[in-house]
Amino acid sequence: MKTIGMLEFTSICRGIEACDAMVKAGDVTLITAKTACPGKYMILVTGDVGAVKSAVEAGEAVGKQYVVDRLVLANAHPQTIRSVQGFQDVEFFDALGVMEFYSLTSAVSAADAAVKSGLVQLIEIRLGMAIGGKAFVTLTGDVGSVKAAIEAGKRISAKEGLLLESVVIPSPTKELYDALL
């Protein structure tokens, strides 16, 4: 299952109703369905491309004007899928890259582009909880790879204009990494 489908809503009620429609619409696995700040609701599913597209379309049909953003990410990198599920299996720490977004879906697509760009590991894709509805991505690798990954993520998000800020920290302290985990 390498496709991620995601919907972001301004209405919690419509989001919950859309989640039910999405799961019923196709052979998808629900990764998460939950509230996000400020009063938004997000749904993430995975499955094959056709099933995920059908699920997202069904969710959009229910959510209508409450849909903030949508994503169908075919061929998602395995690290992207693990990160949106909340798994962190970082094997090494080196330079630190951070990207901050206004949109939850933008963070997922930028993280996927970043991890596909080179030898980096995603640390986290944080989606909207206790951060005012924004999202951020953290990743690590050698300085050159992290810079390339951040640039790849910025290129993807530039189309939507929802990237707020990004940074590469060449030699972060161990205390900073401990705080991120």
Identify the helix (H) or strand (E) that includes residue 44: strand 40-47
Where is pLDDT greater, at 132 or 48? 48
CB atoms within 10 A of CB 113: 20
Average pLDDT over residues 71-75: 94
Quick check: 82 pLDDT over 70? yes
Q: Where are the domains of the chain?
A: 2-76, 79-180
pTM of the model as a whole: 0.88
Looking at the predicted structure, is the pLDDT value of residue 161 above 70? no
Report the C-alpha gap between 140 and 160 in whole angstroms: 25
CATH number of 79-180: 3.30.70.1710
What is the architecture, at CATH level 2, of domain 2-76?
2-Layer Sandwich (3.30)
pLDDT single digits (tens) 106-136: 999 999 999 999 889 999 998 887 778 889 9
